[in-house]
Amino acid sequence: MTKLNKKHLLVSGLASLLVLSACGGETNEEVDSSAEADTSSDSQVLNVQVDVEVASMDPQIATDGTSFEVIANTIDGLYQVDADGNPIPALAETTDKSEDGLTYTFKIREDAEWTNGEPVTAQDFVYSWRRLANPETGSEYGYIMGIAGLENANEVLAGEKAPEELGVTALDEKTLEVKLANPVPYFESLMSFISFYPLNEEFMNEVGDQYGTSPDTLLANGAFEITSYEPAATTIQLEKNESYYDAESIELEGMKYQVIKDSQQAMLSYQNGDLDLVTLAGEQVDLFKDDPEFVNTQAGYLWYISPNTLVEGLENENLRKALAMSFDKEQIAETVLKDGSSAADYVIPEGLATGPDGKDFRETADTYLAYDPEAATEAFEVAKEETGQDTFTFGLLVEDTESAINVSQVLKSQIEDTLDGVTIEIEQMPKKTRLDRMKQGDYDLGLTRWGPDYADPMTYLDLWVTDGSNNDGSWSNEEYDEIVFSAIDGDLSLDTEARWEALKEAEAIIMDEAGVLPVYQKGNAVMMQDNVSGVDFHAVGLSRVYKNVVKE
Amino acid sequence: MKKYVLKRVLMSVVTLMVIVLVLFTLMQLLPGSPFNDERLSIEQQQVLMTKYGLNDPIPVQFFRYVKNMLTGDFGKSYTISKDTDVSLLLQNRLPISLLLGGISIALGSVVGLFLGIAAALKHNSLLDSAATFLSVVGVSIPSYVFALGLSYYFGFQLGWFPMLYSVSDGLLAFALPAVALSMTVMATVARFTRTEMIEVLSSDYIQLVESKGVSGGHLIFKHALRNASISIITILGPLVVSLMTGSLVVEKIFSIPGIGQLMVQAIQSNDYNVILALAFVYSALYIFVMLGVDIMYGVLDPRIRLAKEDSNG
């Protein structure tokens, strides 16, 4: 009997547990519903949707747009960009550039301080820059130290010299001296790039590898500070940083990021008024493009086909040209993608870089390899003769995203229609695998993309130099190499105007030989509530800046 | 009984270790590495591989992993949240999935139980048909359809509940996702309860109890339900695990920072340590729940317990 009672107790205990936990859930829900009213959007808090989590709050580790955006809200660098994309001083109060363009001396604002009350010092920059260049940090953007042309940057990156030998020194608490190995025309613009943002060494030593895992392990010197955060958080809250040197001009009281991956849910929340800024995906663009709240922003991303010139057939220039002109880019951009993308008859995207003449690179440069089925067929005939081959079969590597698959299917059918004798076999795979295979040279054609790192054509042109680490297709041209290397640290780097003209020439060379086959320039589309203004959108580096935002 | 439980626990630990080994081996077959990114040169990739010890022989990596794992260190995330301890990611996300799953299971099984009992008592009535209809709907429509519908009507149109997860909403944030997830549980439990109850209610021993004058709640809960519960618990076990470990689509729809979303992201980005840790958690939970179910059998049904005690000496 006692045995039975025990079991009895257990069973009824379990049952009541179930019931209780269910009730518990419900009663708590009721209690909480009263608090709900308070959480509805505050008037001066900007609610932004992003579709991917922040990967890192560490300026020297972060690589993706979302991380960049959130870091830039909380940390200022020496420079920032204005609404037109021109570099303007941020933490740099004054900048002295030596006549030969090799030495920069920055005075850091006296009133710049971290949220723990410590001043922002020159040493903060020295620390973070050495950290960026140190191969042990494993920073994906380490190489940008070499792009910026700092003395010994490439040697430090290669592990041949100690990070202490990098050409950056703190002359005193607020004076930073930077020595370059060669003049870099876009150096100031680079200073607005997140990888060059400072960190406080003392604080970093204190928190160690816990940096950026909670609001307590983050430090701000910028317009906002983080009040709610955890690694891979789906909501991030920021509050205006009252100790920010320019706090007066910041109108927002705070910001709230919400990660929403489902674009339909994001749009419903926007229509609900819970979000102020939401990114549109694929077909939504077409649906909302006439809405007054619709904003189309050009992104600097270029999608192109990389032909592997080591593959039989693709070493032939005429065949590559035939392929390049055989598909209708406009149709791909306007009827397949429908996301604000535009046809690319070039490799340097529109809105990327402004020349010494104050004009966008594209305004004065030519266009190449436009869709032209007749010219394509002609080039194909020549190619057939030159190679002595009538039929060609190429694999086309694409990543398994919806847009890439759609584009590749159109590419296949149009190339095969225009060029009788060419067969395209689409190979779908995850992006990481595609990158792997392309880097190994294990492909024929690859649909790939490149996003710009800084506002200069070189961010694209240096990809395709002979033996370049991103020159997957092994295309090679001596004249092209000469121009690019001279523009980096040779004679051309000293003469900005001649350099600019030479870069146009370099683009002409790679396009004339169809070293890569451009397809389209990515467009971004967002919806922004009409009471919000002052969000700056950029095609390069930091894509969205919120310092001037006003919410009425 | 004690010996039996101990043996089962030990078996579970061994199974887990084998699972980790299999996972570890499978992981080596994944194409690519976490570091093949456009911007990383081959030299840099090598630096990173060395930094995280991925160039060491696989057995060395395996034993190091197991050693660290036993101290609660699941390594660092390579891509999702760079250089963050995976244990920290789990610590933040697992409770959310467990809570959501727990609420859904509790809600679904309680409602399902009552529906099933009601249907069995009023066998072949309108109530019975209604309950059957509900459970067919619940089983056949996937939970994300409920999720979308609920979120559209109760979240967007009526605005009664939050459409998206937010910490500031507390448990209210779980209302819609929990209801959406509990539908399958509710339907399954209702269906099984009904069938089992009808069978039990018409059995000899219930008739005997009834003839002794026992009736009402006492009869149903003490005598009938207890006998019917064996099969209900059998199906509830796997359901508990699948809900506790998060539902990918429902998590995505409501932007819930649970482990379901994390898993998919980890696989897409080759974030080895996150995949391993999550797979380990899934397996551990499954084994643990199954162990619980086995022990519950013994508690509920002396025949099972006695049989096991016999066979286990």
Name the residue among B42, B106, B257 with its Cβ closest to that of A22.
Answer: B106
For residues B105 and B285, the answer to whether their CB atoms sit within 8 Å is no
For residues A380 and A522, the answer to whether their CB atoms sit within 8 Å is no
B173-226 pLDDT, tens digit per residue, is: 888 888 888 888 888 888 888 888 888 877 777 777 777 777 677 677 767 777
User: Which of B83, B221, B222 to substitute to test the interface with A, most A CBs within 10 Å?
Assistant: B83
Residue A32: the pLDDT is 38
CB < 8 Å to B40, chain A: 140
Name the residue among B34, B83, B169 with its Cβ closest to that of A61.
Answer: B83
**What DSSP element (H or E) covers A380?**
helix A373-387
Name the residue among B39, B92, B255 with its Cβ closest to that of A140.
Answer: B39
Q: Give A505 or B234, the one with higher predicted confidence.
A: A505
Q: How far apart are CA B107 and CA B103, in angstroms?
A: 6
Q: Which long-range contacts (CB under 8 A, 24 or more apart) does B206-209 make?
A: none
The ipTM (two decimal places) reads: 0.80
Q: Where are the domains of chain B?
A: 15-76, 94-257
For residues B262 and B92, the answer to whether their CB atoms sit within 8 Å is no
For residue B218, how many other CB atoms are within 10 A of its CB?
Answer: 11
B94-257 under CATH 3.20.20.140, yes or no: no
CB < 8 Å to A450, chain B: 38
Flag whether pLDDT at A103 surpasses 60: yes
Residue A23: the pLDDT is 37
Q: Do A138 and B262 touch (CB under 8 A)?
A: no
Tokens in use for B287?
């084994």
- Angle, alpha carbons A500-A503-A507 (nearest 5°): 145
Residue B32: the pLDDT is 67
> What would the mean pLDDT of A486-496 be, rounded to a whole number?
87
CB < 8 Å to A281, chain B: none
Residue B304: the pLDDT is 66
Q: How far apart are CA A325 and CA B239, in angstroms?
A: 56
Spacing of C-alpha A250 from chain mean position: 25
> What would the mean pLDDT of B275-294 be, rounded to a whole number?
85
Which of A552, A515, A542 has its CA nearest to residue A452?
A542
Between strands A532-533 and A342-343, the pairing is unpaired
> Which letter, b or e, does each residue of B156-170 get, where b requires 16 or more Cβ atoms within 10 Å of its Cβ?
beeeebbbbbbebbb
User: Which of B1, B35, B39, B42 to substitute to test the interface with A, most A CBs within 10 Å?
Assistant: B39
Residue for token digits 């630990």?
Answer: B13
Between strands A254-259 and A224-228, the pairing is unpaired
> What would the mean pLDDT of A258-273 be, rounded to a whole number?
88
For residues B140 and B215, the answer to whether their CB atoms sit within 8 Å is no
A16-35 pLDDT, tens digit per residue, is: 333 333 333 333 333 333 33
Q: Do B171 and A11 touch (CB under 8 A)?
A: no
> Which letter, b or e, does each residue of B72-84 get, where b requires 16 or more Cβ atoms within 10 Å of its Cβ?
eebbbbbbbbbbb
Residue A445: the pLDDT is 96
Residue B310: the pLDDT is 57
Which of A367, A366, A446 has its CA nearest to residue A407?
A446
**What residue in B sits closest to A138 (Cα-Cα)?**
B48
A334-390 pLDDT, tens digit per residue, is: 888 888 889 999 999 998 888 888 889 999 999 999 999 999 999 999 999 999 999
Spacing of C-alpha B225 from chain mean position: 24
> What would the mean pLDDT of A113-138 be, rounded to a whole number?
93
3-state SS record for A261-326: CCHHHHHHHHHHCCCCEEECCCHHHHHHCCCCCEEEEEEEEEEEEEECCCCCCCCCHHHHHHHHCC
User: Which of B43, B45, B82 to substitute to test the interface with A, most A CBs within 10 Å?
Assistant: B82
Angle, helices A373-387/A317-324, rounded to nearest 10 degrees: 160
- Share the mean pLDDT of chain A: 88
Radius of gyration over every alpha carbon of chain A, rounded to an integer in angstroms: 27
Closest CA–CA distance from residue A260 to any residue of chain B (Å): 6
Residue B53: the pLDDT is 80
Q: How far apart are CA A369 and CA A514, in angstroms?
A: 8
Q: Do A29 and B168 touch (CB under 8 A)?
A: no
For residues B146 and B180, the answer to whether their CB atoms sit within 8 Å is yes
pTM for the model: 0.82
Flag whether pLDDT at B65 surpasses 70: yes
Name the residue among A136, A212, A265 with its Cβ closest to that of B163.
Answer: A265
Which of B7, B50, B19, B72 has its CA nearest to residue B284?
B19
B74-106 pLDDT, tens digit per residue, is: 888 888 888 888 988 888 888 888 888 888 989
> What would the mean pLDDT of A66-81 be, rounded to a whole number?
94
B3-17 pLDDT, tens digit per residue, is: 777 887 888 888 888
* Phi, psi for B285 (deg, rounded to 5): -60, -45
Q: Do B257 and A234 touch (CB under 8 A)?
A: yes
Q: Where are the domains of chain A?
A: 58-214, 299-523
Q: Do B171 and A261 touch (CB under 8 A)?
A: no
Q: How far apart are CA B187 and CA B181, in angstroms?
A: 11
Which of B28, B42, B45, B41 has its CA nearest to residue B79?
B45
Closest CA–CA distance from residue B37 to any residue of chain A (Å): 7
> What would the mean pLDDT of A62-77 be, rounded to a whole number?
93
- CATH tag for A299-523 (out of 3.30.750.24, 3.40.1080.10, 3.40.50.1820, 3.10.105.10): 3.10.105.10
* Phi, psi for B237 (deg, rounded to 5): -50, -65
Which of B287, B207, B269, B304 has its CA nearest to residue B32?
B269
Which CATH superfamily includes the segment(s) A58-214? Dipeptide-binding Protein; Domain 1 (3.90.76.10)
Kindly tell me the sign of the dihedral angle through the C-alpha atoms of A244, A248, A253, A254. Answer: negative
Q: How far apart are CA A236 and CA B45, in angstroms?
A: 31
> What would the mean pLDDT of A522-540 be, rounded to a whole number?
89
**What residue in B sits closest to A467 (Cα-Cα)?**
B41
**What residue in B sits closest to A10 (Cα-Cα)?**
B299
For residues A419 and A326, the answer to whether their CB atoms sit within 8 Å is yes
Angle, helices B272-300/B86-121, rounded to nearest 10 degrees: 30
Q: Read off the pLDDT band of B307 (50, 70, 90).
A: low
Spacing of C-alpha A297 from chain mean position: 14
The residues, any chain, with a CB within 8 Å of residue A3's CB and separated by 6 or more, are none
Map residue B203 onto helix, strand or coil.
coil
**pLDDT exceeding 90 applies to what percent of chain A?**
63
- Share the mean pLDDT of chain B: 81
CB < 8 Å to B244, chain A: none
Residue B245: the pLDDT is 65
For residues A496 and A486, the answer to whether their CB atoms sit within 8 Å is no
> Which letter, b or e, does each residue of A379-403 get, where b requires 16 or more Cβ atoms within 10 Å of its Cβ?
bbeebbeeeeeeebebbbbbbeeeb
CB < 8 Å to B156, chain A: 268, 271-272
Check residue A524 and report its DSSP letter: E
B23-42 pLDDT, tens digit per residue, is: 888 877 776 677 777 777 77
Flag whether pLDDT at A490 surpasses 50: yes
CB < 8 Å to A259, chain B: 255, 257
Span of A311-320, A513-522, B7-16, B197-206 with lowest mean pLDDT? B197-206
* Phi, psi for A322 (deg, rounded to 5): -60, -45
Q: Give A39 or A292, the one with higher predicted confidence.
A: A292
Q: How far apart are CA A185 and CA A499, in angstroms?
A: 10
Which of A305, A319, A475 has its CA nearest to residue A398?
A305
Residue for token digits 């290397």?
Answer: A485
Kindly tell me the sign of the dihedral angle through the C-alpha atoms of A410, A412, A413, A419. Answer: positive
CB < 8 Å to B88, chain A: 213, 230-231
Q: Do B270 and A259 touch (CB under 8 A)?
A: no
> What would the mean pLDDT of A508-514 be, rounded to a whole number?
95
Q: How far apart are CA A270 and CA B251, in angstroms?
A: 19
**What residue in A sits closest to B261 (Cα-Cα)?**
A261
Which of B96, B28, B29 has its CA nearest to residue B260?
B96
Residue B305: the pLDDT is 62
3-state SS record for A196-239: HCCCCHHHHHHHHHHCCCCHHHCCCCCCEEEEECCCCCCEEEEE
CB-facing half-sphere around the CA of A222: CA atoms within 13 A: 27
Q: How far apart are CA B299 and CA A513, in angstroms?
A: 79
The residues, any chain, with a CB within 8 Å of residue A210's CB and separated by 6 or more, are A217
Kindly tell me the sign of the dihedral angle through the C-alpha atoms of A345, A347, A349, A354. Answer: negative
- Distance from the first to the final alpha carbon of chain B: 10
**What residue in B sits closest to A448 (Cα-Cα)?**
B38
For residues A488 and A481, the answer to whether their CB atoms sit within 8 Å is no
Dump strand ranges (E) for A56-159: 79-81, 87-89, 92-97, 103-108
* Phi, psi for B57 (deg, rounded to 5): -55, 150
| C-alpha distances in Å from residue B203, one per residue of A213, B199, B223 | 60, 6, 11
**What DSSP element (H or E) covers A132?**
helix A122-133
Closest CA–CA distance from residue B79 to any residue of chain A (Å): 7
User: Which of B172, B229, B251 to substitute to test the interface with A, most A CBs within 10 Å?
Assistant: B172
Name the residue among A8, A213, A435 with its Cβ closest to that of B88.
Answer: A213
| C-alpha distances in Å from residue A346, one per residue of A369, A505, A514, B310 | 8, 12, 10, 80
CB < 8 Å to B47, chain A: 135-136, 138
Angle, helices B175-201/B126-140, rounded to nearest 10 degrees: 130
Which of B82, B99, B164 has its CA nearest to residue A259?
B164
Residue A504: the pLDDT is 95
User: Which of B47, B179, B255, B303 to substitute to test the interface with A, most A CBs within 10 Å?
Assistant: B255
Closest CA–CA distance from residue B130 to any residue of chain A (Å): 23
Radius of gyration over every alpha carbon of chain B, rounded to an integer in angstroms: 24
